[in-house]
Structures are given as C-alpha cells and as structure tokens.
Amino acid sequence: MRDSSAVFGYAIDNWNLREEWIYHYHPSLQLKMRNLKMRVHTASPALAILLLAAVFVVQTQAASVEPLGLGEPGTLEFVSIETGRTVDGVLTLAGRDASQQLLISGKFSSGQIRNLNPIATYHVHPAGILNVDSTGWVTPVTEGQATIEAETAGGIKASVVVRVTDLITDIPVNFPNEVVPVFTKYGCNSGGCHGKSGGQNGFALALLGFEPTEDFEHLVNELRGRRLFPGSPDRSLLLLKASGGLPHGGGARFDMDSPPYRMIRRWIEQGMPYGNEEDPVVTHIEAFPKERLMPRDGKQQLLVIAHYSDGSTRDVTRVTQFDSNEEDMGTVSQTGMVSTGKMTGTVAVMMRYQSHVDVFRGTVPLGVKVDKLPPSNGYIDDLVFKKLIELGLPPSEASTDGTFLRRLTIDIAGRLPSQQETEQFLVDQDASKRKRAIDRLLASSDYADYFANKWGAVLRNKRATNTRKMHTYGFHDWIQRSMHDNKPYDQFVREVITASGDSQFNPPVNWYNEVKDQSAQLEDTAQLFLGLRIQCAKCHHHPFEKWSQDDYYGFAAFFSRVGRKPSPTDSNRSRIFHRRGVASANNPKTGKKIMPTGLGATAIEIPVDEDPRQQLADWMSRHDNPFFARALVNRYWKHFFSRGLVDPEDDMRVTNPASNPELLDALAADFIESNFDLKHLVRTIANSKTYQLSATPNDYNENDRQNFSRYYPQRLKAEVLLDSIDVLTATPTQFAGLPSGTRAVQLPDNAFDSYFLTVFGRPESASACECERTGDANLAQHLLLLNSKEIQAKLGSGRSAQLADDKRDHAAKIRDLYRTALSREPEPEEIAIASAHIDKNLPNVKAAYEDVIWALVNTKEFLFNH
Amino acid sequence: MHQDQSDHRKFLSRRRMLQAGGIGALNLTLPDLLQAEESTQNTSRAKSDAKSCIFIHQYGGLSQLDSWDMKPDAPQEIRGPYKPISTATPGFQICELMPQLARLSPLYAVVRSMTHTQSNHIQANSMYLAGRENPAADDPSFGAMVTKLRPSNANVPPHVWLQKFGGGAAPPDHAYLTGGRLGLAHAPMLIGERHDDNPAASDFRVHALDAQGVTTQQLQQRRSLLKDFQRRSPLKSTVEFEGFELHQQRAFELLQGGEAKQAFDVDKEDSKLRDRYGRNPLGQNLLLARRLVESGVRLVNVVAWTGLGVGEKFVSVETWDMHGNADVGIFEDGWNGLPFALPRTDQAVATLLEDLQDRGLLDSTLVVLVGEFGRTPIIRKGAKRIGRDHWPGCYSAMMAGAGVQGGVVYGQSDKHAGYVKTNPVTLEDFTATLFAAMNINPASRLSPDGFTRPASSGTAIPLLLKSG
C-alpha cells in the first residue's frame, strides 16, 4: 500500500516520524545516525555528454511503451551560472572557509530548463586564485580575481567573475553561525545522539543547534576543556572523534581535512571565540532553484544562500542539511544534488541551516497528453487542471448522477440520499440539477447536524461521567445553530476563544472547561484554527519550523488573563472571566517576559482592562493573517477530498508544503473575500468539476493520491455508517435518553456507549486533532459486520420482514434496496443474482432478504463514499 | 589512547559484575556491551524479523521470597518454609517448588529489583499493563502497543487475551481490552470470560468465532452471494480498498475454519504434550498461546490462573493473591496456595520454554512472567489462614526468549527482599526492556498526531538483552 501511495505523494509522515525526532524524547536511545548517502559526480565531460544523450535516447525509445515524462529538451540554446549572490557580475569569496556552489542551468529550445552541473567543465583564468571541482564547487586559494568559465554540451559556455578576499586577515569564526550548523548537518545534535536530553555518553548538545550558548559551554568549558586542544587542534577530542581518529559510537562523521574539519580546526586555532554580539546573524536562507520540472532519472544541483542581518550573504550549501521527503521519488546527496527515480510526482527536499528552513520541489511529469478535461467550473478546476496538464496526468471521467448524489449527500448532510431523493434526481433532466442539489442540502438542517458533529469533536465537546449534560448539549446546540445560520467563521471562532461567563448561559465557555490550562488553550488554538502545531516550541525551538520559545510564550500571553471560578450551577464546571492585569508570559529558559504576540506578528501591549483574547481574535481574523483562512479551507478540502492540500490538515509548515499552493491561496482568498462564509466555501468545492470526478481510475491515475485527478474513496464515518445501516435495515438505533429517531450524527456528545461507533473509529473528543477519528480498517469491524448479534438483530427485523410481506415482485424490491443502499439502479445481472438467491431459499423469503441486505451492507460500494 | 580504552573495559566489566548481582559467566566486553545497548535502539529497519510475545500475568502478585528471590538466612517468619535449590546457572538459586525452571535457567533472565509504589491491585495492574507509573485512562496496554508497532500479516487476530481478569483485583477493561487510544484495532480478542472457560475444560470452545444467529452453512451462502455482488461492483480495487479487502478476507478465514480457526483448537495437540503442559487452565492456555504464536499472533496475554484443587469451590481467579483470606493459606496445597500454584506454573512455563525451543520459536518469542507486585516479607494471619500481603517496593520478574539474555540475574534486594539494594527497575524501564527484546524502539511515537508520546519513556536495560 505504501509503495503505491507514495507515487504521487509528499509522504509527510517521513518527516513527522524521523528517527532523530523520535529519539529525542528518549534519553536512553542513541545512535541512530542517518545513513546519508554521499554521491560523487565525477563523470568526465565527454562521458557525461554521452550519458546525457543516452538518457534522451532511452526516453525517446521508451515513449512508445511508457508516457513521455518531461519529454525531449530539444537543443541547448543558452547556459547560465547562478550563485545566488553575484553582485554586478562579480562573486566575492571572503575568508579562508568561504566557498561557493555554482549552479549551471541550460535553457533548451523546448523551453525546458535543465541542470547542467553533471556535464559542465570549468576553466579558470588566471589559474591559481581559486579551485573549482567537478561538481562546480569553488574554493579560494589566494587573494585576487579570476574568471570561471563553464563549458557544457556543444561548447556553449557561461562565465562569472570571482573575487577572493580576506585570506590574509583571518576573519574570526563565529561559533553560532558557523560551528553549530556543522553539528546539525552531520546529525551530531539530533535527538538520537548528543541532541537528546542528557546528551550521549556524557557529551550533550542542544537539540538541532537551537541553543548555541549551551553548546559552547559544553564544548569549551565542561570537563575542564578536555574536548578541545588549542595547542594542537588536530588532537582535540572533538575532531578526533568526529573524523574517526578515535572510536566514536556515531562513527566518523566527516573526513580529516574536509571543509567542516578545516573550519572547526581554524576555530580551535583561533582560541575558540564565541563571536561578538554585534556579529551579523542569519535572517533567512534561500534555495536555488525553488521548483523545477525534472525528467525521470534526472539530476538537479541545489544551492543554498544564507542572508545575514548586515545584508551580507554567504553560500552555505555544503553545511546545509538536506532531506528528501520521499526517497522512492527522489534522493538528495549531502552536497545538495537531487536525483529523481522512475516515478511520477513531486519530491520535496527540505533544507535546514541553523533554525532556518527552505524547500525545493522537483516535479517529474508523467507526460501524457491531457486533452479531455471537463469544462472548468471556476478557479478550483482551473488550478487543479493546470497542475494535471503540467504533470501530464489525465483525470478520470465525471461521476455518474447516482454516485454524485450519494457522495454529495454523505459529505454535506452526513447521510445516504433517501430512495425518493435518488429517484427524483435520477429522472431530473435539468442541467443545473447538481447545483440545485448542493443548495438544497446546504439549506437543510442535516448539513448543520453533520458539521456540528465534525466541530464538536475537535472543540472537545466531551461529557465526563460526573457532569451534567446540559453543558455539552448546550454547546452542541450552539455549534449546530452556528452552522445552520451560517455564522461567519471568524465570528464563530471569536465566540469560542473569547468565551466568558457560565456555560449554562454562554455555551462556548464549555471549550474552556475541557481545554483547561494555558498551554492547552494556545496549542489547541494554533492547531485547530491556524493549522500550526507549535507544541514543540514550548520546550525548544521547533525543529522543522521557525517557531521559537519566544513565539510560543508570546502566543501564550493572550491566554494569560483567563480567570476561572467554580460555576454556582455545577461544581464541576468553571465560569470564565477576564482577570484584570497586564497580559504577558515568561519564557522559562530566558526568564524574559513576553507581551502578547500573534505568530509571526509584532508584540502588542494591551491595556489592563481589555481582554487580550479579543486582540487575538482580531489578529486571527485580519484579512492578511497568513494562517487562519488557509487552515480552514484546507480542513474543509480534506473533508470533501479525504486528503488535505496540506496533509495532515493541521500541520501546515514550510517543510510540509501544499500539493497545490496556488489552489490553497485561491481558496483562502475567496474565503476571506466572502467574509468567512462557510456555506459559500462548501458550495464552491461541491460545484467544482474536480469534486465531481469519478473514483474509477483511468490507465494513468490509479496511483495519484495527491493531485485530485480522481475522487479518492473513503470509508463512511462511524456515525454515518451506523445511520446508513439503520436506514437500510429499517431498524433505527435508540440512544438512551434521546428522542427516538435521533440519528448517530445528531448525537450531542460522545457519551453514548456504542460498540459499533467505537469500533468504527468515533473520536473521543479528547484533543483538537481531527486524526482522532480513524478511518482505518480492522478485523473487529469486519467480524462485527459479517457475524455479530448486533447486525443479525437488525437484519432479522425491519426491512427483511417488510419485504417478505411485500407482494410486489422481487425485482422491484431489489431495486428499492439498491436505490436505498447504493443510490443507483441495479444492473439486470444484479437483480438476477439476488432473485436466484431468494428462489433458492424458498419458502423462507425473509431469511433470503436478510442475506441480500447482509451482502449489500458488506460490499465496498456500501461501506465507502466513492 | 589504547590505554584509555582498556581502562574503560575493565571499569565497565567490573560495574557489570556488580550489577549482575555477582552471577558469573558474563564475560561481555565493551564492544559487546555497546552492541547490547545499540540493539535496544534498533528499529525494524535494522532487524526485520518481528518477534512475538507470550505475557503471563501472575495476577494477584507472586511472593518474591518464595520463588525467585529466596532469603534462606532470614528469620523463620520471613523466609517461609521452602528451601532454595541450585539452578543450571552457578550461584543462582530459586525456590524448590520450581525444579523444572531451575534446570532451564540458561534460557531466562530474572529481575530481582522490580519496584513501584502502588499497593492497590487495580491501579498496580493498570500501571504495569500500560508500562508506566501514572497511566492515563486511555493509555494502551503493552500488547496493544506491540500490535500497533509490529502489525501481523497473518490471518489471525494480532492480539489475543486468554482468561479475563476477574474478582476485586481486576484492572478496568479499558486498561487491557480496548486498545486504549490506539483503538479497537489493537484490542485483544478475549477468550475465556469465566474461570472455567479455558482449554482445560472438556467442553471448551472459542465462542467468539461462532456464527451469530445464523448457521455455518448460511454464512457460507451469504459469503458467496457477497462474492457475486462484489464481482459486479462498478468500483475498481484501488489502493483505498486494500485495508477493507484484507480485513474482510481475514474475518472470513477466522469464521470459516481454515488455518486461522484451527490455531484456536488445542484438541489438535498431541495428548502427551498436553499432559506435559499440565491439565490445568494455565498449562492448557500456554499451549494454546504457543499454537497462536505459531500461527502468527503477535501477542498473547495469559492470566496465570492455575485452576482448582480436587473438591475445591471456585472463589476467584486471583491465584497469586495469597493473603490467606480464603480457606487456603499461602503455604497450603489449594488453589490460593504456593504448593499448588507454583509447581503447576513451573511445569507449564518450563514446558512452554522447551516446546518453543524445540520448534525453533524461542528466539522469536518473548516470554514474560510477572505479577502486579510482590508480597510482604512478613508472614501474618489473613482473614482465615496465614499469608503475605501486597508489596510493590521490591519484587521479581522473569523473562525469556527473543532478545533476552538467558542466565542473568539483574538487581539485588536487601536481606529480607523488602527493598531494592541495587539497580532498581521501574515499570517504565521494564517495559522498555520488553520492547527492546522484541526489537521495537521503545521511543516509537504512538499518539494520534504521530509525534508527542513514546511507547515507553523508560530505558531498556542492556544487561538483560542479548548482545549483537
């Protein structure tokens, strides 16, 4: 399953579950050094040209059997050298350890841009000023100026002027800027090694280099300085262990005399300076290129530039850590060379330098001509189809009417269409019937019921055994009404996060009764409403994101004035009020007091009489807030497509990029433009031709799990499935204490015991994570459906008895069952199979109908939304 | 440099000897030790051969002083009536009621320094099931975690529980029967709800696999009807349906005989072997457990209920809770007494180890024998007879097979086995060691979001694990 799902996927799981990350929580675990593959590209120029030519030939030949991929490039027209930091045609290398990766790109007659590093050769005039190796990596030799000329296929050339400076006057090494990133790149400070809490074999480094002062202390001062030996830098324990000169649990990390070795040696030589406060710091890193269409078995050199606070730049390609999110799709070498394989799709390469990250996305197209697209119904289709054309990935056909109605009714109203709805829809000849069905369902209270069920779980509307149900019922009712009245989403969220008073009178206060402490409040807010998981930043800098502890506590400060006292109506509940005072929170590491700050925003001072949560709501609903609208549209996209544009839907970060960023932007802009109108968003999605595509794959898109070239079936959610079985068997489930006829999706909270709902993954409402609801298949589910007293009791009464007494012919009755269960007419063959079964069991017609209903329930067509 | 290294080696092997409680035959070198440590961190990538586990619960709490941690020099009112006997491991002695296991000591390790602070059965049971001192209500049990981290592809349920806990000491169902927050997919299939519902009974059968309200023939008819419908389905078998198809297929296998159902049928075993295991609930359950493991079940939990003596009336399955509160004293030959329960356990567990070894399964099957706590050094009068009371401060555990280093005794208790003297082992470290012995990284993430909660927060103990 993994293999096929990986084809078009950004397997973000890889990054969530990276071993270094896993291990850092666990002091006992050690040594899971990632096996970074060193790839050396040393093909001679002539051979390389031959190889390049050979690749094209292979592709041409392969075209008859497999799709074209990126296609032939045509003739090379133009070559360029990028450095990311050339100023007025001159590249400056300052200092002994400065280096520069050259990026050689060729523009071909087809319009394609391809990386030519693997075939370029270099000539330097005058010689002796600098060296260029075969990968295009430039290192200084002596001060002066030289021109590098890169020659590629057909003798086409490009050149750059390089000035080498500051070799004679040695620039002091800056420990945080230069030494620490080496530990990150080579995995020394990973969670599996010295970066875990307590370190490794007595030597501790801060996780991923986020605390340089601590690292400095441990290296230079701990154990009376035995780790470094300024008198003879090469004899330093640090260098001996890292380069394999002494036994090291982690093995040799880099060679003697390699760039990191030389730099650390120079730092020790200089007497281990920490660097000055005034020394420039890195503000961000920039990848070149950021995106590229690539051929199968293609190569792309990456280039990483660090930008400093004084405006200077530096090439950090060789000290940047690279990781591919999907190694089956493409790999990346330690020097930043991306290699694609045979698969179609996008590989994302994450780059990390200090606390900064950037991402490169390489896309390998399938290269099939996409000529049969349905007429676009707006920007969603435009942007999805644009991506499909770019990938050369033809979409499936449009879904049939019956399938569409079933899909739509499940997704909007959380139930199967009734037999009557199905019959009317199937005979309706009006061209706008799909649009009208969407509007009808959105206006129904079923829509509000279903989305109240969805929001109730993530807003943790959970009833404890000893609390009174009026609170959770009240909150559920409030959510249901908000959905029904289509309350603008920003207002809905504001009413939750600023809730004050007693939940008996102001139901959203209930959220504060379940989300009790300050960190839970800010973490839920970030995850649920902003799609950001900032939990990590509570204790250390977020490993894959820019969030620091200051960001965390600045955000926490918004909740610092939440007061709480027991409710007079229920001692297990609290009343929430604004505690007058200055809103702030302390960063426990620095002891610094931090004022309320939106994520990525500037701190604000809030008068003592004002509830800071109002300011938070203001910040969130600002039209330029980069997270709020995106998080919601992505969450809703996932509801309808079973996979988020960013997935998981609440883990949006630079290093977990959207599969279609333009579409995410467009959806967010439209949502803001509509004044956060949720029904408008649903309507826009449901009316798109993309949503209405069939689940049946064509010859090419079976493995697409990322680009929405077909509908991805998903199992009915627990509540919807139970309701559907109730309808099909005509045996409604009675929930204790609720009016009969209450459906499972209408349950106000999750305190209704039901083995069925539990086994099919009803969420516990214990966290803000939508992942609590599981769609996983398991054995218990199938034992329940195939062979249980519960299902047998449903089969034995209700529908089977009705049908046994029904005097119509079997075909008519079977037709009814198909319309109810599958929202379609049965094929003649299906009627024949069922009739034959009934005949075989005569005279026991009722038992035969039990069997037919049982079989329908257990088909994937019934159990899945498709 | 070389000097430095050999010093390390000396130092460590000296420390090692101390840790091992003076038991010899442990000539591991530093590289060995490092490898042992490393093996605890290996994930499936390094060693792909997945291990199974039979976890035997001495429910109620075994007396450490009368089993693994004898104190022959203690006063009479503490040491009890039994004598220590030598095992096959020099310097290692155990209770004379366990002669079979004494013979097999090279196969297992014993921890004499288990410790926690909870003397209430219910909580203590919840704690060690979850492998942590303060388990949340939705924390999954060790077994549920194992099946999550090492899914089984066999056509049998990945997790089976033989003999439900019963009586006042039983942990809540959610501590072991629901899969906790991992969900019911990881809940065990429960066999044996009542005390006489086990394969030692002549009329025993696994009811969970019976057809419910329909006959077996009817189920077969239904299946072929479903097959006919599915064949006509307009839906292609895309990747989204893989889980569905797999589990539906497995469920049918289980319900309709086939190999999977056979795995639950102990009657298929040779009657001589059944005798060797012992014709009592524990003996027969361990034999069933071996059958299940053999057919691909990842984890089998067995509550060590050893049954009733001739003419005894059923009181509870709390065999090991030997206060003397029932009509049986701790040193009396009845269901709640050591001379009854311990030899049966000795025979059953020893046969299990040998049987697993004979079948080449011992290296891939972890066997654990432990209760929720130990018992007081002081012997005193219970409600009716004499007994020992709850004692979590110091108790013993046994483990064998898979990655466990046999012939090891880890940790020491004080002179009355009341407190830990060296190398205390917490529930967290114990559980981490079990994970490691199954080649599972104890720090694997298990929370729904995939990154906040480790399977175990403990540290695996290298000395209990095979090197390399």
Question: Using the 8-state DSSP alphabet, how is residue A460 labeled?
Answer: T
Q: Are residues B241 and B353 in the same domain?
A: no
Asked if B43 and A19 come within 8 Å (Cβ–Cβ), the reply is yes
Domain interval for residue B127: 2-204+267-464
Q: Are residues B304 and B185 in the same domain?
A: yes
Measuring CA to CA, which residue among B151, B36, B92, B20 is closest to residue B403? B36
A-contacting residues of B 4-33, CB under 8 Å? 5
pLDDT of residue B448: 52
The model's confidence at residue A604, banded by pLDDT at 50, 70 and 90, is: very high
pLDDT of residue A403: 96
pLDDT in tens, B394-427: 999 999 999 999 999 999 999 999 999 999 999 9
- Measured between CB atoms, does B251 come within 8 Å of chain A? yes
Q: Provide DSSP, B36-53.
A: HHHHTT--TTT-----EE
A348 vs B258, which has greater pLDDT? A348
- Measured between CB atoms, does A539 come within 8 Å of chain B? no
Choose from A443-452, A500-509, B39-48 the range with maximum mean pLDDT: A443-452
Count of alpha carbons within 13 Å of B65, Cβ hemisphere only?
Answer: 31
Q: How many domains does chain B have?
A: 2
- Measured between CB atoms, does B214 come within 8 Å of chain A? yes
pLDDT of residue A33: 24
- Looking at every residue in chain A, the average pLDDT score rounds to 87
Measuring CA to CA, which residue among A82, A125, A114, A126 is closest to residue A101? A82
pLDDT of residue B109: 97
Q: Are residues B142 and B238 in the same domain?
A: no
- Complex ipTM: 0.77
Q: How many Å lie between the alpha carbon of B152 and the closest alpha carbon of chain A?
A: 12
- Measured between CB atoms, does A861 come within 8 Å of chain B? yes
Q: How many Å lie between the alpha carbon of B78 and the closest alpha carbon of chain A?
A: 37
Q: What is the mean pLDDT of residues A651-678?
A: 92
3-state SS track over A389-400: HHHCCCCCCECC
Measuring CA to CA, which residue among A482, A454, A481 is closest to residue A770? A454
Find out whether A849 and A803 touch, Cβ atoms under 8 Å.
yes
Percent of chain B with pLDDT over 90: 60
Q: In whole angstroms, what separates CA A594 from the centre of its chain?
A: 30
B-contacting residues of A 3-22, CB under 8 Å? 4-5, 13, 16-17, 19, 21-22
Q: What is the mean pLDDT of residues A399-416?
A: 97
From chain B, the residues in CB contact with A776 under 8 A are 183, 185, 243
pLDDT of residue B140: 92
B373 vs A651, which has greater pLDDT? B373
Q: Are residues B145 and B221 in the same domain?
A: no
Q: Are residues B309 and B219 in the same domain?
A: no
Task: Give the range among A747-751, A809-813, B259-263, B363-367 with minimum mean pLDDT.
Answer: B259-263
Q: Are residues B25 and B130 in the same domain?
A: yes
B169 vs B353, which has greater pLDDT? B353
The model's confidence at residue B7, banded by pLDDT at 50, 70 and 90, is: very low
Q: Are residues B191 and B231 in the same domain?
A: no
Q: Are residues B254 and B343 in the same domain?
A: no
The model's confidence at residue A402, banded by pLDDT at 50, 70 and 90, is: very high
Q: Are residues B253 and B285 in the same domain?
A: no
Q: Are residues B120 and B212 in the same domain?
A: no
The model's confidence at residue A45, banded by pLDDT at 50, 70 and 90, is: very low
Q: Does residue A779 register a pLDDT over 50?
A: yes
Q: Does residue B213 register a pLDDT over 80?
A: no
pLDDT of residue A469: 86
Domain end marker among B232, B263, B294: B263
Q: Are residues B73 and B136 in the same domain?
A: yes
Asked if B449 and A22 come within 8 Å (Cβ–Cβ), the reply is no
Cβ neighbourhood burial of B160 (10 Å; 0-12, 13-18, 19+): buried
Q: How many Å lie between the alpha carbon of B228 and the closest alpha carbon of chain A?
A: 7
pLDDT of residue A529: 97
pLDDT in tens, A500-535: 999 889 999 999 988 989 999 999 999 999 999 888
Q: Does residue A732 register a pLDDT over 80?
A: yes
Domain end marker among B247, B263, B279: B263
Domain end marker among B220, B247, B263: B263
Count of alpha carbons within 13 Å of B171, Cβ hemisphere only?
Answer: 23
Q: What is the mean pLDDT of residues B317-332?
A: 94
Percent of chain A with pLDDT over 70: 91
From chain B, the residues in CB contact with A31 under 8 A are 38, 41
Q: Domain A45-169+281-364 is in which class?
A: mainly beta
> Which residue ranges make up each domain of chain A?
45-169+281-364, 175-242+251-269, 488-621, 714-865
pLDDT of residue A18: 34
- Measured between CB atoms, does B239 come within 8 Å of chain A? yes
pLDDT in tens, A378-388: 999 999 999 99
The model's confidence at residue A657, banded by pLDDT at 50, 70 and 90, is: confident
Q: Is the peptide bond before A843 cis (omega within 30 degrees of 0)?
A: yes
Q: What is the mean pLDDT of residues A200-212?
A: 82
Residues A674 and A669: their CA atoms lie apart, in Å, by 9
Among A192, A246, A702, the residue with its CB nearest the CB of B238 is: A702
Asked if B212 and A789 come within 8 Å (Cβ–Cβ), the reply is yes
pLDDT of residue A547: 85
Length of chain B counted residue by residue: 468
pLDDT of residue B380: 92
B64 vs A30, which has greater pLDDT? B64
Q: Provide DSSP, A767-825.
A: SS-GGGS-----HHHHHHHHS-HHHHHHHHSTHHHHHHH--S-HHHHHHHHHHHHHSSP
Percent of chain B with pLDDT over 70: 88
Asked if A793 and B241 come within 8 Å (Cβ–Cβ), the reply is no
Question: Using the 8-state DSSP alphabet, how is residue A217 labeled?
Answer: I
- Measured between CB atoms, does B212 come within 8 Å of chain A? yes
The model's confidence at residue B117, banded by pLDDT at 50, 70 and 90, is: very high
Q: What is the mean pLDDT of residues B69-79?
A: 94
Rounded-to-5 percentages of helix, strand, coil across chain A: 40, 15, 45
Asked if B226 and A858 come within 8 Å (Cβ–Cβ), the reply is yes
pLDDT of residue A848: 96
pTM of the model: 0.76
pLDDT of residue A466: 64
Question: Using the 8-state DSSP alphabet, how is residue A175 labeled?
Answer: I
Q: Can you say whether residue B374 is alpha, beta or left, with left for phi > 0 and alpha for psi between -120 and 50 degrees? A: beta
Q: Does residue B48 register a pLDDT over 70?
A: no
User: How many beta-carbon pairs below 8 A join chains A and B?
Assistant: 190
Could you tell me the two tokens for B236?
């292609």
B-contacting residues of A 753-812, CB under 8 Å? 758-759, 761, 764, 766-767, 769, 771-772, 774, 776-783, 786-789, 792-793, 796
pLDDT in tens, A214-263: 889 888 888 777 888 888 899 898 998 898 888 887 788 888 878 889 88
Q: Are residues B120 and B228 in the same domain?
A: no
Q: How many Å lie between the alpha carbon of A844 and the closest alpha carbon of chain B?
A: 12
Q: What is the mean pLDDT of residues A803-829?
A: 96
DSSP-based three-state secondary structure for A71:
coil
Find out whether A82 and A8 touch, Cβ atoms under 8 Å.
no
DSSP-based three-state secondary structure for B89:
coil
Among A19, A535, A696, the residue with its CB nearest the CB of B236 is: A696
Q: What is the mean pLDDT of residues A442-448?
A: 97
Residue of chain A nearest B34, judged by CA positions:
A249
Q: How many Å lie between the alpha carbon of B333 and the closest alpha carbon of chain A?
A: 42
From chain A, the residues in CB contact with B449 under 8 A are 533, 648, 651, 767, 769, 771
